[in-house]
Amino acid sequence: MEFTAHASRPLRVAIIGAGQVAEKVHAAYYATRRDVTLVAVVDKEAERADAFAARNNIARAYTDADEMYRLEQPDLVSICSPNRFHSAQVLQALQHGCHVMCEKPPAMTPPEALAMAEAAERAGKVLAYDFHHRFAEDCRILREKVAAGALGEVYVTQARALRRCGVPGWGVFIDKEQQGGGPLIDIGIHMLDAAMYVLGFPQVTRVSAHQFCKIGNRKNRGLFGEWQPEKYTVEDSLFATLELAGGGILRLETSFALNIPEESVMNVQFCGADAGATLFPAHIYTDDGGKLLTLYQRQEADSQRHHNSMKAFVDRVMGQESDVADGRQGYRIQQLVAAMYQAAEQGESVTL
C-alpha cells in the first residue's frame, strides 16, 4: 500500500486527549519535524485542552472532536485517550480521511481491534500503535539474529513487566471498566509485543493464566503516588503461559504490585538450543564448558524508543518504507491479551 504526503504543505496534525503521553511523546515528537504542524488538541476538559495548547504552541483547542475535524481537516491524528475510547476515536479519524497513531492497547476487545484494522485497510490509511519498545535497536538486532538462526530453535521465551509497587496514582489505570484491565493491558502488553516481534509473530495455540489482586486493594501509596484501594478493580499481577505452534512456550509475568526485590523489571529473555539472549540491552550468550560465553553484546539499551516509533509512523505516512506496529499486529496482540484474561477469569486454558 502506498501513502503519499501533501508535498505542497506540511501535514496537519491533531491530538485527541491532552494527557501526559500526548505531551511528552506525541506533541514533543511532532514539534521536531518541519513537514508536519500541530493544529489542534481535543480534550473533554476545556481548561486542560487550553493549557495543553498553550504549552505546546498549538493554535486551537477543542472539546468537541466533530467540530475539530470540520474546522481543521487534519491529515494525521494521535489518539491518546483512555483505552475505552480508542476504538470509536480511531474509527472517527479514519472516517475523516486521517492517518492514525494510537496509544496502546488498540482497543478493549479483539472485535474492536479487528474492525479498526479493517477500516484502515478500506480507507487506505496508516493505522499504527505505539508499541514503542519494539522500536528499540535492540529489538531489531535480536529479531534479525533469531531469524538467522543464531540462537538455534528458541523454545522458551520469558517476558517480564513487573513493578514492586508501581500502581499509577493518576488517570483511570485502576478502573477495569474504563481501562479493560491492570498491568497486563498497560505494561505487560509492551513486553508481549516486543517478544512476539522478535520471534516473528509465531502462532499461539493455547493460553493459560492466573491473576491476583492481593496488594492494590489494600495499600494506597507507592512509587507513582496515591490511589483509593476501595476503587481498585483490576488485577495487580498476572502470570501466563502461551503455547506456540512450533512447540515452544512464551511466559509472561506482569504486575503493578508484587513483593519482589526489584523496583521495576521490563525485559525479555530468549532460550534457544544453541544460545540464549536478553533483550535490553541486547545480549547473546551461550555456555562454554560451564562458563558464560558472550557472542554479542550492546553496552546500553536504545533509549529512543518513543522517538523511533513516532518517526516510523510519520515516515510511513510520507510514503517511505518503515516498519510500524500496524492494525493487523495490534489485533493479534489484543487477541492474546483477551485470551489471557479469559483463561485467568475462567480458571482453564483457552485454545486459539
Q: Of 239, 283, 230, nearest to 260 (Cα)?
A: 239
pLDDT score recorded for residue 19: 94
Domain limits, the chain: 11-131+314-322, 134-306+334-351
d(CA 76, CA 128): 11
d(CA 317, CA 309): 13
98, 317 Cβ separation under 8 angstroms: no
What cell was used for 35? 513537514
What cell was used for 285? 550468550
pTM: 0.95
Break the chain down into helix, strand, coil percent, rounded to 5. 35, 25, 35
Give strand pairing partners of 62.
42
- Residues ≥6 apart with Cβ < 8 Å to 219: 165, 167, 229, 257
pLDDT score recorded for residue 302: 97
Instruction: Provide the CB-side half-sphere exposure for 33 (13 A, CA).
Output: 22
Query: What's the distance, Cα to Cα, between the start and end of the chain in Å?
Result: 29
List the pLDDT tens digit at each of the 352 positions of the chain: 445 545 578 999 999 999 999 999 999 999 999 999 999 999 999 999 999 999 999 999 999 999 999 999 999 999 999 999 999 999 999 999 999 999 999 999 999 999 999 999 999 999 999 999 999 999 999 999 999 999 999 999 999 999 999 999 988 999 999 899 999 999 999 999 999 999 999 999 999 999 999 999 999 999 999 999 999 999 999 999 999 999 999 999 999 999 999 999 999 999 999 999 999 999 999 999 999 999 999 999 999 999 999 999 999 999 999 999 999 999 999 999 999 999 999 999 999 9
DSSP for residue 334: H
Instruction: Quote the distance between the C-alpha of residue 293 and its chain's center.
Output: 33
Q: Which helix (H) or strand (E) holds 114?
A: helix 110-123
CA distances from 201 to 1, 66, 134, 193, 230 (A): 21, 37, 12, 9, 39
134-306+334-351: CATH topology is: Dihydrodipicolinate Reductase; domain 2 (3.30.360)
d(CA 311, CA 45): 29
d(CA 165, CA 225): 10
CA distances from 3 to 49, 308, 320, 321 (A): 31, 19, 8, 10
pLDDT score recorded for residue 6: 52
Q: Which helix (H) or strand (E) holds 292?
A: strand 291-297
User: How would you classify residue 346: left for phi > 0, otherwise alpha for psi between -120 and 50, otherwise beta?
Assistant: alpha
CATH class as words, domain 11-131+314-322: alpha beta
